[in-house]
Amino acid sequence: MDTSVAPPLPVANPLTEFFWEGTRAHKLLILRCQSCGHFVHYPRPVCERCLSEDLAPEEVSGNATLYSYTITMKPWHPFWVDKVPYVLASVELPEQPDLKMLTNIVECEHDALEIGMPVEVTFRQVAAELTLPFFKPVGS
Amino acid sequence: MGSRSAVIVGIGRTAYRRGSGRTTLGMATEACRAALDDAGMPVSEVDGIVCFSTGDSVIPILVGYALGLDGLAYPLEIKGGGNYASIVVAQAVAAVEAGMCETALVYRSLNSLSGHRYGRVDGALVAEGHIQYGAPHGYLVPGQWFAMMARRHMHDYGSTYEDLGHVAIQTRAHAANNPHAILRTPITMDDYLDSRWIYDPFRIYDCALEADGAAAVLVTTAERARDLKQPAVRMLGHAAWLGAGGLPDQWPDMSALYSANVGPRLWDMTGLTPGDMDLACLYDCFTYTTLATLEDYGFCGKGEAGRFFADGRATYGGDVVVNPHGGLLSEAYIHGMNHHFEAVLQLRGQAGERQVKDAALCLVSAGTGPYGGALVYGRD
């Protein structure tokens, strides 16, 4: 089994490169409208609320609640061959209602997973150029 | 241009197989020719062809060319998945009614098992665009997202694995009466609960049956239909909602699907209610899609669909017969076009052993997650 294989690597573009630079520095950055204060994720060129194009990354708290999750049992890519089952999740950030992002829940037994549970960001380097924002139960 | 109306006059399909050994062109032309033969219409009258594809299939002008047509007045290929399986029919009806073409074929042809598989990652995955926020975390196939939606529904409404199981069991029981279905052996709740996990809360029996094949419908004017072989079927209304930019994880309320938006508009537009439907061909890429859309379209309350199935309300003698052909789960994953074939067959009273008695009205839905549409067919 080849465990040196990398996961699918993000192809950063001018809209998203800040996010990956942030994770490498262990900061969770979300694009925010500098005109009305609305957070925008996924990164887009225009604020959906006020249509301002004046957006800039801002560091968020790193706190979240678990919105939903699925436990993937089958590796769909060589990187996960020795990592199944793994928890793919959507977490809701407290900075704004419905501000959700995809992640993995780590450091948590599967039968302890509970929608609504508080989680916090934890950064892990998974490839030379890639650090991912995972979430773990608060206090774990 | 005028107030003429369009109707469905023919249906066609190939065999559905686990591995066709055929091209999407070969299957598309076969399904289209079958629809023309069904109607008793010469191919020379076709001047419109509509399809949807994710880039995995042949385009309309090549199908027309292969069928001996010099060209098409209304060729349209919509890029997308099963969420467009009702929009393509509505487009053909609209095009004929607007006078942009006289007669239109609508097809979907795909090798969803032997060709591009939605439930598999082929080769190196390039995490571009929005995919860069999912794929590095192992969000690789669409079903993972719908599994997450199902999990949220379980949390909000107390639905269970067994509720999903009831959908799988009933759908398979229907397929047993359909010689065209690939999987026809009935399953029990024990079979369901013992089937292998794919992505919790989904087991293999929760997932569409990836297969190869094509299905087509033929649309022309009501006036022309009078001279054709089959009784015409009419689209009584169509509504769609393509939400959240196509990003399932940004849909605000994951315990509901696109259908929460489409259902009320469709009933308002047609003046009909769920109770009027004799059968429903619900897009069922996963058991959860059947369950949540049944609720969203108003056949029962939120959280009640599992019980609805368990109590026999989704089959013969119940409220509405859901997927009498066995759906995408047990007939074949023809991306929702097979639902249109079944609806028309039933409304013409030609479904044989599985005929829904006096079937006059049928809901056909398409899609899941934040995007999809639905239409109602009625006997003309």
Nearest CA in chain B to A13: B129
Q: What CA–CA distance (Å, rounded) separates B33 from A31? A: 53
Which residues have CB under 8 Å from B176's CB, separation 6+? Answer: B184, B185, B186, B326
- Full-model pTM: 0.96
Residues A80-96 pLDDT 10s: 999 999 999 999 999 99
ipTM score of complex: 0.96
- Which residues numbered 6-65 in A keep a CB inside 8 Å of some CB on B? 7-13, 16, 42
The pLDDT score that the predictor gives to residue B122 is: 60
Residue B35 near residue B216, CB atoms below 8 Å: yes
Write the residue in A16, A42, A102 that is nearest to B139 by C-beta: A102
In angstroms, the separation between the Cα of residue A35 and the nearest Cα of chain B is 23
Domain residue ranges of chain A, discontinuous segments joined by +: 11-59, 61-140
- Contact residues on chain B for A73, CB-CB shorter than 8 A: 196-200
CB atoms B138 and A86 under 8 Å: yes
CB atoms B124 and A68 under 8 Å: no
Question: Number of C-alpha atoms within 13 angstroms, CB side, residue B91?
Answer: 20
Question: Rounded mean pLDDT of chain A?
Answer: 95
Residues of B labelled as active-site residues: 283, 333
Burial B4-13 (b: 16+ CB within 10 A, else e): ebbbbbbbbb
The pLDDT score that the predictor gives to residue B123 is: 56
In angstroms, the separation between the Cα of residue A53 and the nearest Cα of chain B is 19
Q: What CA–CA distance (Å, rounded) separates B234 from B237? A: 9
Q: What CA–CA distance (Å, rounded) separates A59 from A32? A: 9
In angstroms, the separation between the Cα of residue B199 and the nearest Cα of chain A is 4
In angstroms, the separation between the Cα of residue B228 and the nearest Cα of chain A is 49
A86 and chain B in contact, CB less than 8 A: yes
Residues A31-88 pLDDT 10s: 999 999 999 999 999 999 999 999 999 999 999 999 999 999 998 888 999 999 999 9
Residue B6 near residue B93, CB atoms below 8 Å: yes
The pLDDT score that the predictor gives to residue B39 is: 98
- Contact residues on chain A for B202, CB-CB shorter than 8 A: 70
A71 and chain B in contact, CB less than 8 A: yes
Using alpha carbons, select from A124, A112, A111 the residue that is nearest to residue A28: A124
Domain residue ranges of chain B, discontinuous segments joined by +: 6-116+210-225
The pLDDT score that the predictor gives to residue A3 is: 47
Write the residue in A73, A90, A130 that is nearest to B198 by C-beta: A73
CA distance to A32, B16, B189, B328, B342, per residue, from B174 (Å)? 51, 17, 15, 12, 12
Q: What is the 3-state secondary structure (H, E, C) of B169-182?
A: HHHHHHHCCCCCCC
Q: Does domain A61-140 have CATH number 2.60.120?
A: no
CA distance to A55, B72, B137, B140, per residue, from A43 (Å)? 9, 41, 17, 20
B124 and chain A in contact, CB less than 8 A: yes
- Contact residues on chain A for B247, CB-CB shorter than 8 A: 42
Per-residue pLDDT of chain B (380 residues; tens, 9 = 90+): 457 999 999 999 999 999 989 999 999 999 999 999 999 999 999 999 999 999 999 999 999 999 999 999 999 999 999 999 999 999 999 999 999 999 999 999 999 988 888 777 765 677 888 999 999 999 999 899 999 999 999 999 999 999 999 999 999 999 999 999 999 999 999 999 999 999 999 999 999 999 999 999 999 999 999 999 999 999 999 999 999 988 888 998 989 999 999 999 999 999 999 999 999 999 999 999 999 999 999 999 999 999 999 999 999 999 999 999 999 999 999 999 999 999 999 999 999 999 999 999 999 999 999 999 999 999 98
The pLDDT score that the predictor gives to residue B118 is: 76
Nearest CA in chain A to B135: A8
A80 and chain B in contact, CB less than 8 A: yes
A69 and chain B in contact, CB less than 8 A: yes
The pLDDT score that the predictor gives to residue A2 is: 44
CATH topology of domain B6-116+210-225: Peroxisomal Thiolase; Chain A, domain 1 (3.40.47)
Nearest CA in chain A to B133: A102
